[in-house]
Structure 1
Amino acid sequence: MEIVEATISSVQSALQSGELTSRELVLRYFDRIASHDKDGLTINSVLELNPDALFIATALDSERAAKGPRGPLHGIPIMLKDNINTGDHMHTSAGSLALAGSFAGEDAFIVKKLREAGAVLLGKVNMTEFANFMTDGMPSGYSSRGGQVLNPYNISAPTGGSSAGSGVAVACNFCMASIGTETSGSILNPGNLSSTVGIKPTVGLVSRSGILPLSNSQDTAGPMARTVMDAVHVLNAITAYDESDAAMGTSIWHKQTDYSQFLDSKGLAGARIGIPRDYFFEELTEDQLAIFQDAVEVMRKQGAVIVDPADIRTAREIKYSSVVLNEFKSSINAYLSKLPPGSKIRTLKDIIAFNNEHPVETLKYGQSTLLSAETTTSGTQTETTYLRDRAADLRLCKDGGLDATMKEYELDALLFPADFGARITSRAGYPSIVVPAGYTEKGVPFGVSFAARAYEEPKLIKLAYSYEQASLVRRPPSLRSFI
């Protein structure tokens, strides 16, 4: 069986028929990683491979033979972003050398759910260090521990951050799917630039327990895959309720048991989709705008009602917010305090000190953001500016922004170019899905993203899947030549 661009469903068929085993699949991915990530073009997306991967795969093959598969993810190799805890032989470092020797005491909640679903945790992928909260001017996809991830479609193009490795490893067929995390565009942005599907869930749908944090109010994990269906299979596995994550309290009344029921190829028919032209289109090039317009025409032909423009009246009022800066210090200190005994890094101050002691290895681009978080915030979230900015974010982005716009135009979803909607959806805590839409003249991927209100993932899955099936534009990178 050819594994390049294989789907979870096609691999499951091969596993069931005996044409392929999970152990063989892991070995094939090892070979691709060796040939293209660590040799050849040296894409550099894979930070660490799980030394237990072959054992896990072999055990799952035996279980399949004895009992049958647990479900769609049985024996499926999945990569994890390096800020997600695994209670095994893999490190969790957020791409930093300060935490390069750090082992988590136990699995993150979503990792436990992936193991229960029968997934093979293949390894961890590189990321922008500390989720792009290390310093100003650091390229997306760079970390002091892992180096620079390259965009396999065009090495002069950015990878997007901070889940760069999560998107690139999937795009290059180094795994079946991956988990990324997002605070403000960190799933949508690399998904757009790697021609992959990224689902950024509502904050509260997916547990954050055991994930190195950035912002308590905006963080979430989500799946990245080559198809909407594959991303939904992973989403199904990780959406179980976690009582230790307070954000999940509202999800009890909204969470679906099986999101695959919304994979409707006719899902665009009759759907009202709004396009917020004002503010969100100003950075587009001519070829990016042409790709977006082609995507809109595909949706129109599928029966969508396009409301254009459907401008968000508060968009230009949205300014820099101190929310993430103020939440980072308390969030990361709480995480570090729970590391196993023996860890020398217990606070943000310890990370900064370690970097100062190893400047050649760690401070290629500096650590200005870490320093700002440590020295200008209290870590108690009592600053007047923080409290006012948090209220303003909710007023401008959620209540008076997305909610008001969707109500005014009676919309099912908003459609943004690339990941540009993350500027507002992230602060609202609302869901988005990015889907490949085409490639620029230089071969750089470009996608479109659907966004909706809290816990409206079912609507977004319908729309994204219907568009994907009608367009089918994704193609794998050649891994042989660049423009």
Structure 2
Amino acid sequence: MSNAEQVTTVVEDAIIEMEVAGATIIDSVDIIDQSLLESARTLKYEFAHAFDQYLDQLGDSAPVNSLAELVATGELYPDIQNRIEERSVLDVDVESLESNTDYLRILNRRKKIKSQTLSEMAKHDLDALMYPPSRILPVEIPDSQPFEEMNCEISAHTGLPAIVLPGGFTNDGLPVGVELLGREFEEPRLFELAYAFEQATDHRRPPI
């Protein structure tokens, strides 16, 4: 069984467990095309500015004054350093973002993703969407988890609340999570659903 198939098996079992616990399941619901999600990432345009703002809040306790200074030290984990450099994160002119057409297109894509997601939830009268935050199992150190396999960016792109909880284990004992995405300002309902699922399944094991 492939890496992705193992994740799918655990998630499908979690769906059954949720249904047995009393949830009404609609499987499956088409939400967003993966290519649209990938085209709505703002990391290139926002990361350096947000990081520098964080450093400013630290004041004199900040170890460096900017992301550029941190990258220049060469002390970042190589995969992180490469990602910053390959995406030209440090080359963005923050002052011109309000007129940057590429950035503005991305923000419009995010609005579209949010609208489509909420529309599907209303169409099927859903309290939450359920999916694996990662479509593959954790990789072994020192490899890095492929960013392209992450589903958790749906919440980041839409601004909708989400919660991740234990979904179960593979035959080899690796944990697999499931994520619930809720409607706007419906965090209390997400907590109710997550708590009920955890109480019904108890998918927790102490680390070995």
1:415 and 2:130 aligned: yes
> In the TM superposition, what is the alpha-carbon distance from 1:437 to its structure 2 partner?
2.0
- Alignment-derived partner of residue 163 in structure 2: 433
Unaligned runs of at least 5 residues, structure 2: 135-149
> In the TM superposition, what is the alpha-carbon distance from 1:408 to its structure 2 partner?
1.1
- Alignment-derived partner of residue 161 in structure 1: none
Whichever residue aligns with residue 453 of structure 1, its letter is R
CA deviation map 1:419-478 (0-9, x unaligned): 454131211111112221221122210122211122211111111111111111211122
What is the CA–CA distance in structure 1 between the aligned matches of 2:43 and 2:155, rounded to whole Å? 14
CA deviation map 1:178-205 (0-9, x unaligned): xxxxxxxxxxxxxxxxxxxxxxxxxxxx
Counterpart selection for 1:324 from 39, 43, 47? 43
The structure with the largest alpha-carbon Rg is: 1
- Alignment-derived partner of residue 89 in structure 2: 373
What is the CA–CA distance in structure 2 between the aligned matches of 1:473 and 1:333, rounded to whole Å? 39
1:391 and 2:90 aligned: no
> Equivalent residues in 2 for 1:63-74 (5 A)?
none
What is the CA–CA distance in structure 1 between the aligned matches of 2:41 and 2:5, rounded to whole Å? 33
Identity %: 31
Change in CA separation of 1:350 and 1:403 when aligned onto 2, cut-off 3 Å: same
What TM-score do the two structures reach when normalised by structure 1? 0.36
Change in CA separation of 1:363 and 1:414 when aligned onto 2, cut-off 3 Å: closer
> In the TM superposition, what is the alpha-carbon distance from 1:366 to its structure 2 partner?
6.9
Change in CA separation of 1:362 and 1:328 when aligned onto 2, cut-off 3 Å: closer
- Alignment-derived partner of residue 137 in structure 2: none
What is the CA–CA distance in structure 1 between the aligned matches of 2:67 and 2:35, rounded to whole Å? 34
Change in CA separation of 1:342 and 1:409 when aligned onto 2, cut-off 3 Å: closer
1:460 and 2:174 aligned: no
Change in CA separation of 1:368 and 1:466 when aligned onto 2, cut-off 3 Å: same
> In the TM superposition, what is the alpha-carbon distance from 1:354 to its structure 2 partner?
2.7
> In the TM superposition, what is the alpha-carbon distance from 1:414 to its structure 2 partner?
0.8
- Alignment-derived partner of residue 141 in structure 2: none
What is the CA–CA distance in structure 2 between the aligned matches of 1:296 and 1:425, rounded to whole Å? 20
What is the CA–CA distance in structure 2 between the aligned matches of 1:461 and 1:366, rounded to whole Å? 33
> Equivalent residues in 2 for 1:55-204 (5 A)?
none
CA contact (8 A) 1:425 1:451 kept: yes
CA deviation map 1:155-185 (0-9, x unaligned): xxxxxxxxxxxxxxxxxxxxxxxxxxxxxxx
> In the TM superposition, what is the alpha-carbon distance from 1:343 to its structure 2 partner?
5.7
> Equivalent residues in 2 for 1:465-476 (5 A)?
465-476=195-206
Please tell me the root mean square deviation across aligned C-alpha atoms, in Å: 2.5
State the structure with bigger RCO (CA 8 A, min sep 6), 1 or 2: 2
Aligned to 1:446, the other structure's residue is in SS state strand
CA deviation map 1:387-437 (0-9, x unaligned): 1111111212x112x211101111111111244541312111111122212
What is the CA–CA distance in structure 2 between the aligned matches of 1:335 and 1:287, rounded to whole Å? 38
CA deviation map 1:64-109 (0-9, x unaligned): xxxxxxxxxxxxxxxxxxxxxxxxxxxxxxxxxxxxxxxxxxxxxx
Aligned to 1:474, the other structure's residue is in SS state coil
CA contact (8 A) 2:11 2:132 kept: yes
Aligned to 1:286, the other structure's residue is in SS state helix
What is the CA–CA distance in structure 2 between the aligned matches of 1:344 and 1:313, rounded to whole Å? 40
What is the CA–CA distance in structure 1 between the aligned matches of 2:58 and 2:183, rounded to whole Å? 35
> Equivalent residues in 2 for 1:215-254 (5 A)?
none
What is the CA–CA distance in structure 2 between the aligned matches of 1:293 and 1:302, rounded to whole Å? 14
> In the TM superposition, what is the alpha-carbon distance from 1:365 to its structure 2 partner?
4.5
- Alignment-derived partner of residue 348 in structure 1: 67
What is the CA–CA distance in structure 2 between the aligned matches of 1:301 and 1:343, rounded to whole Å? 51
CA contact (8 A) 1:436 1:473 kept: yes
CA contact (8 A) 1:336 1:346 kept: yes
Unaligned runs of at least 5 residues, structure 1: 1-282, 356-360, 479-483
Change in CA separation of 1:445 and 1:471 when aligned onto 2, cut-off 3 Å: same
Change in CA separation of 1:319 and 1:303 when aligned onto 2, cut-off 3 Å: same
Whichever residue aligns with residue 83 of structure 2, its letter is T
CA contact (8 A) 1:437 1:474 kept: no
Change in CA separation of 1:291 and 1:456 when aligned onto 2, cut-off 3 Å: same
> In the TM superposition, what is the alpha-carbon distance from 1:311 to its structure 2 partner?
1.3
CA contact (8 A) 1:339 1:346 kept: no
- Alignment-derived partner of residue 121 in structure 2: 406
